[in-house]
Structure 1
C-alpha cells in the first residue's frame, strides 16, 4: 500500500518537474480542473441568482460583523469561521448581491485548490469528473454562494485527505504538511465537531502508522482553527463541556438516531427537515443518493485490483465518518450536512465511472460509454430541476421577510429597534433591528426586559394568526399582515 502511494507521488513529482519545462503539460494537468471550478462559479451566479435574500442561519452569521443590523444571538453549536469569512464584505456593505458574488468566486477558487491537491494521486480526468459530480449537485450549487459553513468543511476535508496522503509518502513535502494544517484549520474554523469527524480516519491512520509529522501538522491545524470556539466556550457558555451539552440539546440530543430516511426526504429541496415528515421525493430524485455508496465501494474494488488501495480508501473512509453523525446520531436532516461526504466520495465514484467506460473490451466500450453518459445527463437534469425549485421557493420566503421588514418600517419600527416572535431573527436583520426570544434555542431575554425595552425604543412582536400574543404585548397596537399579526409599541412606533 505504501509502495504504490510512493510510486504515484514520485511520478507526480516528476510530472511537476516536466511541467516547469513545458507549460503545455502544466495546462493539461490543471486546465480541466480550472474549467470545472469556473463552470461551478458561473452556475452559481446564473442559477442561484445573487439577489436571493439571506436565509435564517445566514442572517445570524452575517450579523456578527454586519453594517446592516446588530449581532443576532449566537447559539452554542455555531462557530464564527463563516462570519469572519464574509466580514470583508458584510462589515461595510449591506448588498446581498455583492456578498453572493464574493462567495461564488471564493468557493470556485477553493474547489480548484482542493482538486489540485490530488494531482498525481488520481488521473486528471478522474479529478475533473469528481469535481464536476460534486459541483453539479443541487445542494453544492445552492450553498456555495451562501454564508453557511458546510461547503467550506467539504473543500477543507477534500484538501486535507490529499495533503495527508502526500505527507504520508514524503515527510519532507512541506507544501503537503502546511496544506494539511491549513485544511484542518479551515474545517475547525467553520465547524469544529465536523472537522473531527471528517479527519478521524487520518488521525487513526497517523497514530497506527506512527506518522508523527503529519499527525502534528494536522492536530496543529485543528487546534488553531478551533481555538476561538473553545475560548468562547469558557468566556460565554460556561465551559467546553457545557457548550457541547448545550449544542447537543439544541440539536435534539445527540445519540442513536437513524436519520437515513430523513436525509432522503430532504433531497427534494428542503433546507431543513425538522420535524422530517411527509412523503418521500420521487424515486428519480433520490436514486443518485442510493447508488452513491455502491459506486464508491466499486471504486474501492477497482483501486484494490490496481494496487492503489490507500489513495481511494482514505477519502472513502473520511467521507463515511463525516456522514456518520448526520445519518445515525441526529434526529433531523438538512442536505447541507452531508456536503463533506459528497466531496470525498466523489473521488472513488468518479474513478469507478471512468473505469466503466475504459475497462471493457472494444466491442462493449461504446455501450458502457452510452449508458454512463445517459445516466449522468439524467442526473444533471434532476439536479437542475430540484435546484430551480428550491431557489424559487426560497426566494419567495425571503421576499416575505423583506415585506414584513418594510411594514415594520412603515409602522415606525426602525433602527434602533427590537423584534421578537415568529421568524424574529431574519426579519429583524432585514429591518435593521435587534432580535430577542424568551424561550427556545435562541432564548436570550425575558418578558420583563422586552417590556422595558419598549419604553425606550420601538419593539415589535410577530405572532402567527390564531395564536395569542405574549402577555407583555396584549395591550399593544397590532396590524394583520398575511399569516402574521404585528404587535408594536415604543416611543416612535406608529408615529
Structure 2
C-alpha cells in the first residue's frame, strides 16, 4: 500500500507540473503566430504610415462618432460596426496618426487570434505561412490600419470557420461555440450581407449534418451582429426590404455582372474601380491572382488524399461564397471586397506550398525550395511596389482635401458650415463642416434647404474645373484650389 501511495503521489506531482509545462509549450508553439502578427502591425506603421489622411468612406464612418465634424450621410449599405470600433479613439481625439496606430495594433491582434483558432487543425508552420501570405498582400496592408470594415470581415470569417470545425468535432467545446458566435457577430457587425454570404457553407453543413449547437451559435452570432442594422432599417430607411433595395440600387443593381475583369483592373492599386475602364495592370501584377486559386485547389487535393479534406474544403467553399457577389453580381470593383476570400484561401495555399517543399524527392527538394522561395520573394516585391505607389497617390489626394479645407477656412467658411458638390463629404470632414447633396446616392437635402442655410451659415459649393456651379451659387465669389473651384457665401463672417 505504501508503494502504491508513493506511486500515486509521484504521479500527482507529475500531474501538477504538467499544466505549467503545457502552458510553456503552448506559448512556444504560438511564437510563430505572434511574430507574424507583430510583423504585420509593424509593416502597417512603416509602409502605410500613420500620417496618411482619412479617405472618403473613412470620413463617413469616423464622422458618426467624432466630435471633429458633424455626421455625414450614412447610406443604406453601410453598417456601424467600424464606427463603433474606432469610437474609443475618435470620440475624444481627431488625430489621424493615433487612429492609424490603434487600428494597426488591433488588426495585428485580430490576425493572431484568427490564426490561433486553427491550431490543431493545421500545423503551426502552415498557419504562420498563411498569416504571412495574407498579411503581405498590398490590399491587406493598405486597409489594415484604415477605418474600413472589410479586413474585419476577413479575420472574422477565418476564425468562424475554425471555430465551427472545432465545435462540430467536439460537442462539449464551449470555447469553440463562443468563438463561433463572436466571429459571426463581428462579420455581421461590420457588413451584414457579407456575413451571410460567407456563412452560407457553414449554415448548409450544419443543417445537412444536423449539427444543432454550432448552427445555433452561428445564427445567434449573426443575429447579434446584425440586430442594430436591422433595427436601423425600420427606424431610418423604411424597413428591411427597403434598405436592401436601396443598398442594391447604390451598388448599381445587384444581378448578373461579370466583374472578374474589373477586379483584375483594380489589382494595380485602384481603391475603387467605378466605372472600371482603362488598361489592365502589367501581367506581373496580376499573376498571383491566378496562382492563388490553383494552389488552393492543389492544397485541397493533397488534403483529400490524406483523408483530412474537410477543413480545406470548407475554407474553399466559404471563400467561394464570400467572393461570388463581388465577382458576378455587381458592376464595379474594389480590391478590398475580396479580403475575406483571400484570408480563407491563405491556409490551403500555405499547406500546398509546404507540401511542395517537404514531400518532393530528396534529390529534387533543393530545386523545389529554391523555386518556392524565389516565387514568394517576387510576389512580395510586386505587392510592396503596388503598395508604395498606392500609398503615395492616396496620401497626395488626401493632402489636397486638407489644403482645400484650409483654403475654405481662410475664406471664412468655418464651423458651423455646410459644403456641397464635388468631394463635399471628405472635404467637409476635414473642414469640420456638414455636407449636403441634392442628388445621387448620398442625397440628403434640397436646393431650398441649402439656399435657406446660406442666409445664416457659411456655405460653399465645390465644382470641378470647367464645371458649372448650382444656380443659387453663380453670384457667389469664387476661387480655385487645385482642380476645384470654390463658390462660397459667408453671411456670418462680419458678425
- Shorter-chain TM-score above 0.5: yes
Q: Deviations over 1:45-88 (max 9, x none)?
A: 00110000000000000000101100000000000000000001
- C-alpha contact (below 8 Å) 1:80/1:189 kept by paired residues: yes
Taking only aligned residues, the RMSD between alpha carbons, in angstroms, comes to 1.1
Q: 1:49-128, aligned counterparts within 5 Å?
A: 49-128=49-128
CA distance in 1, matches of 2:314, 2:229: 28
Contact 1:19 1:25 in 2 (8 A): no
Separation in structure 2 between the aligned mates of residue 440 and residue 250 of structure 1, nearest angstrom: 9
> 1:361: Cα distance to partner?
1.3
Shift of 1:125: 0.5
Q: Distance in 1 between matches of 2:482 and 2:122?
A: 55
1:467, 1:332 → 2: CA distance?
Answer: 25
Structure-2 separation of matches of 1:291 and 1:494? 64
Tell me which residue corresponds to 1:5.
none
Further displaced range: 27-36 or 50-59 = 27-36
Partner-residue secondary structure (3-state), 2:379: helix
Following TM superposition, by how much is the alpha carbon of 1:179 offset from its aligned partner in structure 2, in angstroms? 0.2
Q: Deviations over 1:333-392 (max 9, x none)?
A: 000000000000001100000000001111011110000000000000000000000000
Q: Kindly indicate whether the alpha-carbon contact (under 8 Å) linking 1:20 and 1:26 is maintained by their aligned counterparts in 2.
A: no
SS in 2 for 1:73: coil
**1:264 and 2:257 matched:** no
TM-score, scaled relative to structure 1: 0.96
Identify if the C-alpha distance between structure 1 residues 494 and 378 changes in structure 2 by more than 3 Å, giving closer, same or farther: farther
Deviation of residue 19 (structure 1)?
6.9
Shift of 1:490: 2.9
Aligned to 1:369: 369
Q: Distance in 2 between matches of 1:468 and 1:425?
A: 19
Corresponding residue number in structure 1 for 2:33: 33
Give the corresponding residue for 1:468. Answer: 468
Moved over 6 A (4+): none
SS in 2 for 1:203: helix
Distance 1:234 1:82 in 2: 21
Structure 2 equivalent of residue 290 of structure 1: 290
Structure 2 CA distance for aligned equivalents of residues 138 and 73 of structure 1: 29
Structure 2 CA distance, aligned partners of 1:161 and 1:493?
A: 58
- Look up the match of 1:491: 491
Unaligned runs of 5+ in 2: 1-16
Q: Kindly indicate whether the alpha-carbon contact (under 8 Å) linking 2:400 and 2:482 is maintained by their aligned counterparts in 1.
A: no
Q: Does 1:434 align with 2:441?
A: no
Query: In the TM superposition, what whole-angstrom CA distance separates every residue of 1:90-123 from its partner, at most 9, and x where no partner exists?
Result: 1110000000000000000000000000000000
Tell me the CA shift for residue 27 of structure 1.
Answer: 2.8
Q: d(CA) in 2 for partners of 1:19 and 1:359?
A: 35
Q: 1:467 to 1:316 in 2, by over 3 A?
A: same
Deviation at 1:35, TM superposition (A): 0.3
Q: Which has the larger radius of gyration?
A: 2
TM-score (norm 2): 0.96
Unaligned runs of 5+ in 1: 1-16
Say if 2:331 is the partner of 1:328: no
Query: What displacement does 1:491 show?
Result: 1.6
Distance 1:114 1:142 in 2: 19
Please name the residue that 2:389 is paired with. Answer: 389
1:250 positional shift? 0.2
Contact (CA 8 Å) 1:33, 1:112: kept in 2 or not? yes
1:284-310 deviation line (CA, Å, top 9, x unaligned) = 100000111100000000000011110
SS in 2 for 1:419: strand
Deviation at 1:481, TM superposition (A): 1.6
Classify the secondary structure of the residue corresponding to 1:487.
strand
The 5 Å alignment of 1:65-464 reads 65-464=65-464
Mapped to 2, the partners of 1:472 and 1:39 lie a distance apart of 54
Summarize deviations over 1:401-429 as a string: whole Å, max 9, x none: 00000000000000000000000000000
